[in-house]
Amino acid sequence: MPRRIEILVFPDAQLLDATGPAQVFASANEMALRSAHLEKGPLYEIALVAEMAEVTTNSGIALRCALLSENRPAPDTAIAVGGSGVNAACSRPALIDWVRDRAIHARRMASVCSGAFLLAQAGLLDGRRAVTHWHRYDEFAGRFPQVRLERDPIFVNDGNIWTSAGVTAGIDLALAMVEEDHGRTLALAVARELVVFLKRPGGQSQFSAPLRLQTADDRFSDLHAWISANLTRPLTLDTLADRAGMSLRSFARHYRQRTGRTPAEAVEIIRLERAQGLLETGSSVEVTARKCGFGSTETMRRVFLRRLGVGPKDWQERFHD
C-alpha cells in the first residue's frame, strides 16, 4: 500500500510550503517507476486537506483540497504548512483538532516554515526541539516558551515530530523522509530531478554566515566581506575595529548591539562556513584549517564539534561526493 501523505492548508498559506514537499513525494513515485520499483503501485499517495474544498494561498493561487470533515484513515505522514495566514489558522478549532488527531494516529507529524505555530498551538512541541522560519523566531519563542526552539537548522526531527525552517526547507524535510522510507539512492534521484541538494543536512544553518550576521542597517556588511576575503590574517579585535574605523570599545559594543554576536563569534562563523565548503569539495583537513585561518587542525576540530556536533573528518565523509 502507498504511504498516504496529508498536507494541511488554509487561507493565505504559503504555496511552496505545500507544493514543495508534495512534488518531492510525487517525484519519488516517478523515479521509482523509472527504476521499475513500482510493482504494486505508487510509493506515496498525496492529498491536500483543508476546511473547505478550495483554498486561496497568499500568492493568489487556489488549491483544490479534500475536506477535513471527510472520514478517512489516518495518513502515514501529516504535514502542516505555514504562511501569512497561520495566526488565523491557529484560532480555528477544526485545524488544531486535526493536528492533534494526526499526531496521535499518523507515523509522522510535521510542519513546514511557520506551520510550527500550529503544532505548538496544539501542544505537540512542548519540551521538544523545533525550528521555524528565521523571521518569526522571536515571535514563536515569545508565544511558546516551553518549546526548545532552535534558530539555525534546516529541519529538526524529534521523535515522530518533524519541523522545518522557512519555505524551501520543506523540500529538504520531504527528501529526508523519502530517504528514511526508501533509502538514499531514491532520495538522491529525486533531488537530482528537482535540481536541489540532497546533502543539505538538518543541522546545517538555514542561511549563510553573511546573512546570519546581516542587520537592518547593514552597518558591518563591508567588514564581513573583508573578513571573508582575509581569513588567513590574524583577525584580532584591534584589527577589526581599525577596519571598521571605530575605537576598540565602541566597535565591540556597537557590533554586538547590531548583530547579537561578538566580533570573535562572527569571525568563527565565517571561518566555519568556508571550512565546510572546502571539505565538501575534497580539500584535506590540514589545508582547510590553513586556508580558513584556524591556526591548527585541533582548533578547527573543536569549532566543528562545538557548532556542528561532528568533527571535520566526519563532516567530509558525510557530505563529500
Instruction: Please give the radius of gyration of the chain, using alpha carbons only, rounded to the nearest integer.
Output: 22
Distance CA 84, CA 9 (A): 12
Distance CA 289, CA 112 (A): 36
C-alpha cell recorded at residue 313:
573528518
The answer to whether 150 and 156 are in contact (CB under 8 A) is yes
The yes-or-no answer on residue 65 being catalytic is no
C-alpha cell recorded at residue 11:
487561507
Q: Which of 65, 90, 113, 292 is catalytic?
A: 113
**Terminal C-alpha separation, the chain:** 34
Q: How far is CA 51 from CA 10, 89, 108, 160, 228, in A?
A: 7, 10, 21, 25, 49
Displacement of CA 121 from its chain's centroid (Å): 20
The answer to whether 320 and 282 are in contact (CB under 8 A) is yes
Name the nearest CA neighbour of 190 among 5, 29, 3: 29
- Catalytic residue annotation: 113
